[in-house]
Amino acid sequence: MPQPLADTLTHLRVGNQTFLINFYQDHRDDFAEWARQHQQLARPAAHELLRSVLVEFYNQVADGRLTKLPPDLRAHVYSMAEELPQTVTTTAALPAAEASRRRRLLGLFGQLSSDCQQVLMFFYFRGYNFKKLAGKMGFANATVGRIQKSSCLRRLYEMHLRAG
């Protein structure tokens, strides 16, 4: 039985991204076909576009810009994809060594706790300062946010050294 929409938004607001992960897994093949027909995108570029759209959707929910789920979430996501700049699809291929290094780091990143993943994503990929990071994560102040970020980064580095 699908979870109620209000519960879905509540879970998204507190950082539980299970709904979005399931949505991605359930719709990525259909989305790739749609993106091939409407935007002439190859499958990997279409998957990257869908991930970008879902991150933007999550940001809208987390920031309070989206207060209720659209009646047709699939149509909403597709319309967001049409509006999103196509910078995602124009990236050049990485050299094999760099691509391999990034895959290893991404695998290690996935082994971190969800809180650590969230902290590092907010700081490095969304550019949040420590004050905003602390607010988003529910930390007491910016200093706690800085300490948590450092701790998570240290864990990732130690995992990298052990895997090395």
Q: What is the pLDDT of residues 10-69, one digit of tens each?
A: 777 776 778 888 888 899 999 999 988 988 888 888 888 898 888 888 877 777 777 787
Q: How far is CA 52 from CA 64, 73, 86, 89, 90, in A?
A: 18, 15, 10, 11, 14
| pTM check: above 0.75 | no
Mean pLDDT is lowest, of 37-41, 59-63, 110-114, 140-144, for 59-63
Say if residues 88 and 49 touch (Cβ distance below 8 Å): yes
| Segment 54-106, tens digit of pLDDT | 888 887 777 777 778 788 888 988 988 888 755 444 445 678 888 888 888 88
Say if residues 163 and 157 touch (Cβ distance below 8 Å): no
Residue scoring higher pLDDT (156 or 15): 156
Say if residues 121 and 112 touch (Cβ distance below 8 Å): no
